[in-house]
A and B are shown apart, each in its own frame.
Chain A
Amino acid sequence: MKESKIVDLVSRKLVPYILLFGLYLISYGHLSPGGGFQGGTVLSSAILLLCLSRGVEATSRLFTSRAVNALEIAAFTLFLAMAAAGMAVGVSFLGNFLPLGRIGEVPSAGFILFLNMVIGLEVGTGITLICFSLLRET
């Protein structure tokens, strides 16, 4: 892919803010439009922007395949652990067992916030891996 200085510069400046926005969507998902999956795709779109402007090789030196893979497995494990923890504590499979706070505050609604974060990581890393493998030139 031919490099363009403008695209390269702007995308390098934008990526941290896109990542931040993705994290915002994930953590406010239970209070305003957003959520785990939505924030996760925004996270991966930041990495995808880097891929498109600099190429997969350069991006995967920053976000290594191995680290992204490990993060995905960790997120999947955490999700299954949370789901099963509901059963162990005695509520139900995928039952909400963390304390529900007040409506409107960030740490409320029990474990939905936690699940959102885990799903956000899972989706973000998953779509990143998909893009890495589809965009490799070889």
Chain B
Amino acid sequence: MAGAIILLLVLVAVAGLILTDNLIKKVVSLSILNSALVILFVWAGSLSGSEAPILLPGVLDIVDPLPQAVMLTAIVIGICLTAVALAIVLRIHKCYGTVSRRRLEELTKNDDG
């Protein structure tokens, strides 16, 4: 069940990345893709235990902590990526006046270099 939802999220994100015209929507799709991958890792890690991975007295059966630690780093990297992408999109809007992919490709058709 959870696997199906995650697969759906990934497909929605990739489809959004490829099919939408607005650049900001593409950046949002990237963010959704990142989140979907994070959920995938954490869910798969949670299948092998039952308690949160914090060693307090009486806690014995913890889930796998490695995917959670790994995904923390991945979330940070995703945020940096989104920030850089949005900054570039902002500047593109200032330069070209549009954030539509179709319009931008028309405008840059004859550009070189």
Please determine if A and B sit in direct contact within the complex, based on CB atoms under 8 angstroms apart: yes
Report how far A130 CA is from B56 CA in the complex, Å: 37
What's the A-B contact tally at a CB cutoff of 8 Å?
Answer: 22
B79 touches A33 (CB 8 A): no
Q: Which residues of the other chain, A, contact B87 by a CB distance below 8 angstroms?
A: 130, 133-134
Q: For the complex, count residues of A whose C-beta is within 8 A of B.
A: 12
Q: Contact mask B60-91 → A, CB, 8 Å, 1/0? A: 00000000000010011001000100110010
Report how far A87 CA is from B36 CA in the complex, Å: 38
**Identity of the chain A residue whose Cβ is nearest the Cβ of B72 in the assembled complex:** A37
A103 touches B55 (CB 8 A): yes
Report how far A127 CA is from B79 CA in the complex, Å: 9
Shortest C-beta distance, A8 to chain B (Å), equals 26
Q: Contact mask A79-103 → B, CB, 8 Å, 1/0? A: 0000000000000000000000001
Report how far A54 CA is from B26 CA in the complex, Å: 30
Q: Contact mask A104-138 → B, CB, 8 Å, 1/0? A: 10000000000000000001000100100110000
Shortest C-beta distance, A62 to chain B (Å), equals 22
| Binding site secondary structure of chain B | helix
B52 touches A33 (CB 8 A): yes
Report how far A133 CA is from B91 CA in the complex, Å: 12
Some 17 contacts from A to B, beta carbons below 8 A apart, are: A31-B54, A32-B54, A33-B52, A37-B75, A37-B76, A103-B55, A103-B56, A104-B56, A104-B57, A123-B76, A127-B79, A127-B83, A130-B83, A130-B87, A134-B83, A134-B87, A134-B90
Question: Closest 9 interchain pairs by CB?
Answer: A130-B83, A37-B76, A37-B72, A103-B55, A32-B54, A134-B86, A134-B87, A104-B56, A134-B90
A-side residues, CB < 8 A to B, are 31-33, 35, 37, 103-104, 123, 127, 130, 133-134
B-side residues, CB < 8 A to A, are 52, 54-57, 72, 75-76, 79, 83, 86-87, 90
